[in-house]
Structure 1
Amino acid sequence: MTSRRADQLARANALSPLSSANLTMLCDFLYDRTGMQFGESKRYYIDRRIADRMAHRHLTAFADYYALLRAEADEAEQLINSFTINETYFYREDHQLACLSRSILPEIVASKRPGDKIRIWSVPCSSGEEPYSIAIWLLENWALVDAYNVEIVGSDIDTAIVAEALEAKYGRRAVMRLSPELIGRYFEPIEDGRVRLIDDLRESVTFAPCNITDAASVARQGRFDVIFCRNLLIYFDGAARVRCMENLLKSLLPGGYMCLGHSESMSRISANFITRRFPDAIVYQRPEQL
């Protein structure tokens, strides 16, 4: 550990926990910016991250840090990055990937011509495992992958994790669901037992930061045939979920498909989707006329 980092940690450890009023102010700030809910039950998690950011900015009073937070977009971005959860791995919930290749894409291409564009959006993308999984799965399991112009986009509110996705370097846990054959085909070994995705695969996915609670941020990504938005809405309250789904609905092309996480359901969020029960997964479709 460098002396600078050790000094920063020492300063962070010396800072007092947030008062109840300051905790509420901070949680309201995070909710307004991200839609994510934090509160007293996650106090230790919050105190540690705020102490670290305050120490990094050489501040000891929360009032001074809060003023800085509201004045500097870069500090707000750094704080939000520190609060995001990026736990994932390749081929997570791969039954939905099977549904994509066996059911969703055959329906989509029924109204397209060879060479037409198919856009797939993975949000949140974390450090790339989600959208890169889509790319690998289609190469391995969809015979028509080369007949169409498939564009895969990965987005996340955490700008630091998007930068990691571009690097595409992974440890053993990230690739634990992949067979040795797939790892050998799509990854190259690097230092410390880690692997890096090969160049062709890295170049097949485009990355961009996005906050799905913000309509303008979502609109900048364009419109998609399929959106994977998995295991994100569980961190939002009801109002934020509705706002997010309104934004994502506008990003779906008519007849487009939405894939949520296994513990998430559209039933209490939006009545604007058709529930489709395919053999591999339940997904949600935007009607052709809406």
Structure 2
Amino acid sequence: MRRTSSRPDSRRANGARRPVSGKDEPRATHPALTDKEIAQVGRLIYRWTGMIFGENKRYYIERRIGERMARSRMADVATYLGFAGSHLDEREALINAFTINETYFYREEHQLQALSAQILPEIVRSKRPGDAVRIWSMPCSTGEEGYSIAIWLLENWSMVDAYNVEIVGSDVDTAALRHAREGRFGTRSLARLPAKVVDAYFEGERGHRRKIIDDLRESVRFAPANIVDRASLAALGRFDVILCRNLLIYFDDEARRLAVSNLYHSLNPGGFICLGHSESMTRITDLFELVRLEGAIVYRKP
């Protein structure tokens, strides 16, 4: 990641997914699933993602299954689940339907402040100018998480040009990743950004939407990954900093331990992990050291 002419010196002032609609689009219904079917759906989603969906999410499950059954033109739940289990494209679409992509730029800003003021200065103590500094955002949702890191560092870390900063965003939701690569965002996503930052890094488009400038969009790489599947993480390599916020709350204890083990193996020795404000690594494992920073609690791999 490097500063370019598209940064503030040449300012250019000037989301949510929606289903495709059309005359031939089948109308989704919400089938009334039996307790057995609810449990079967929960087992499949858990096996594929580690996320927990049970009886307390019945309406959500029925609505998502109904939408996918309508698009697949299937009326029988058992038939559809068998189809999703044996066809990777439909499995991917079903996983995408169950994921939650609620985020915005500069979310949990106190961690970004800790990143530039304390975490990265500690990381680069053992590096030379020009060395890689690798940061992973998992889950990255529709791109706000990864792009927030890039913008924050350009604005707040004076050493950003001295190192080869690599930012990778990953998610199990492939539809969200497509959105992230496009780099188009609405007013809600941008609400927390200062106006001067929006003007510096986004181009105006029709309506209230903004597109992130190409130089910044190309500085963040997005790749699919499943945090409970170590094989899907291997190609990403190891990182100096991982931001994994508000994901483990959707897992049970067994899936959390598996996810944390995978995070451990994805982190360089001495690297840091940032979790969501309601999450605690010490309740899951003793693999990491708790580190209290000014304004943030993070975890470090010894």
Shorter-chain TM-score category?
A: over 0.9
2:299 aligned to 281, 284, 290, which one?
Answer: 284
Corresponding residue for 2:214? 199
Q: Which amino acid aligns with 1:112?
A: K
Q: CA deviation at 1:16?
A: 2.9
Q: What SS class does the counterpart of residue 191 from structure 1 fall into? A: coil
1:42 aligned to 20, 34, 57, which one?
Answer: 57
Query: RMSD of the alignment, in Å?
Result: 0.8
Any stretches of 5+ residues in structure 1 without a counterpart?
none
User: Is residue 4 from structure 1 mapped to residue 24 from structure 2 by the alignment?
Assistant: yes
After superposition, residues 46-125 of structure 1 pair within 5 angstroms as 46-125=61-140
Q: CA deviation at 1:2?
A: 1.8
Corresponding residue for 1:234? 249
Corresponding residue for 2:18? none
Deviations 1:71-125 (CA, angstroms, capped at 9, x unpaired):
1011110000000000000000010000000001111111100000000000000
Q: CA deviation at 1:49?
A: 0.8
Instruction: Compute the TM-score of the two structures, normalised by the length of structure 1.
Output: 0.96
User: Following TM superposition, where does structure 1 have runs of at least 4 consecutive aligned residues deviating by more than 2 angstroms?
Assistant: none
Corresponding residue for 1:168? 183
Q: In the aligned structure 2, how far is the partner of 1:249 from the partner of 1:175?
A: 32
1:129 aligned to 122, 127, 144, which one?
Answer: 144
After superposition, residues 136-151 of structure 1 pair within 5 angstroms as 136-151=151-166
Q: Which amino acid aligns with 1:2?
A: G
Q: In the aligned structure 2, how far is the partner of 1:256 from the partner of 1:103?
A: 12
Q: CA deviation at 1:46?
A: 0.6
Q: CA deviation at 1:221?
A: 1.1
Corresponding residue for 1:265? 280
User: Is residue 25 from structure 1 mapped to residue 40 from structure 2 by the alignment?
Assistant: yes
Q: CA deviation at 1:128?
A: 0.5
Q: What SS class does the counterpart of residue 75 from structure 2 fall into? A: coil
Any stretches of 5+ residues in structure 2 without a counterpart?
1-20
Q: What SS class does the counterpart of residue 125 from structure 1 fall into? A: coil
Q: What SS class does the counterpart of residue 207 from structure 2 fall into? A: helix
- Indicate if the aligned counterparts of 1:256 and 1:285 stay in contact, CA closer than 8 A: yes
Corresponding residue for 1:216? 231
Q: What SS class does the counterpart of residue 299 from structure 2 fall into? A: strand
Identity of aligned residues (%): 57
Q: Which amino acid aligns with 2:215?
A: D
Q: In the aligned structure 1, how far is the partner of 2:292 from the partner of 2:122?
A: 14
Q: In the aligned structure 1, how far is the partner of 2:127 from the partner of 2:78?
A: 56
Q: In the aligned structure 2, how far is the partner of 1:178 from the partner of 1:16?
A: 41
Deviations 1:18-60 (CA, angstroms, capped at 9, x unpaired):
1111111111010011000001111111101101111111111
Q: Which amino acid aligns with 2:169?
A: G
Q: In the aligned structure 2, how far is the partner of 1:44 from the partner of 1:171?
A: 28
Q: CA deviation at 1:218?
A: 1.6
1:183 aligned to 187, 198, 201, which one?
Answer: 198
- Indicate if the aligned counterparts of 1:218 and 1:248 stay in contact, CA closer than 8 A: no
Deviations 1:251-288 (CA, angstroms, capped at 9, x unpaired):
0000000000011001111100000101121100000x
Q: CA deviation at 1:220?
A: 1.9
Q: What SS class does the counterpart of residue 123 from structure 2 fall into? A: helix
